[in-house]
């Protein structure tokens, strides 16, 4: 008798998305929104710069503290990378919501990440963001 080789059976199991993916997306979206608040909006209003002309940031909180360089770096991140990351998170979340439309797991977190990411992008087009951009660059 000849030995008959049989092919191994493959199970057709659908891949379940990892449960930490929506939380990662939400974390990135919240990081983008938080960077705006911490590095731009809070110092702008805390120093009452909305009532003064644009100028040098030296001598203003938190730029005059030992963490001033970190806040400055975060401010640059806010304008340079936060809209790109926010758009990526919003697009990724919308894609996952569409792909996982039958599975209810994580949909609320994906939706929250999509909203916060889109809001981070939309904020760039507000008058306050334009004023902060001028204030930061000058």
pTM for the whole thing?
Answer: 0.72
Model pLDDT, residue 73: 80
Largest pairwise CA distance in the chain: 95
Cβ-proximal residues to 101 (8 Å cutoff; 6+ apart), any chain: none
Mean pLDDT in the chain? Answer: 79
- Of all residues in the chain, the percent with pLDDT exceeding 90 is 23
Pick the residue with more confidence: 32 or 135?
32
Pick the residue with more confidence: 28 or 13?
28
SS3 79: helix
Segment 55-86, tens digit of pLDDT: 555 566 666 777 777 877 887 788 888 889 99
First to last CA, the chain: 88
Both tokens of 34, joined, read 């938080």
């Amino acid at each position: 008798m000849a030995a008959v080789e049989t092919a191994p059976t493959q199970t057709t199991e659908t891949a379940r998305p990892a449960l930490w993916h929506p939380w990662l997306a939400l974390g990135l979206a919240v990081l983008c929104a938080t960077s705006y608040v911490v590095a731009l909006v809070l110092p702008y209003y805390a120093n009452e710069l909305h009532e003064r002309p644009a100028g040098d940031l030296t001598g203003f909180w938190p730029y005059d503290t030992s963490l001033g360089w970190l806040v400055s770096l975060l401010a640059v991140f806010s304008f340079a990378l936060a809209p790109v990351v926010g758009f990526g998170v919003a697009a990724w979340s919308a894609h996952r919501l569409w792909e996982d439309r039958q599975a209810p797991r994580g949909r609320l977190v994906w939706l929250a990440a999509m909203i916060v990411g889109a809001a981070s992008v939309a904020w760039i087009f507000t008058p306050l963001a334009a004023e902060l951009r001028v204030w930061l660059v000058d």
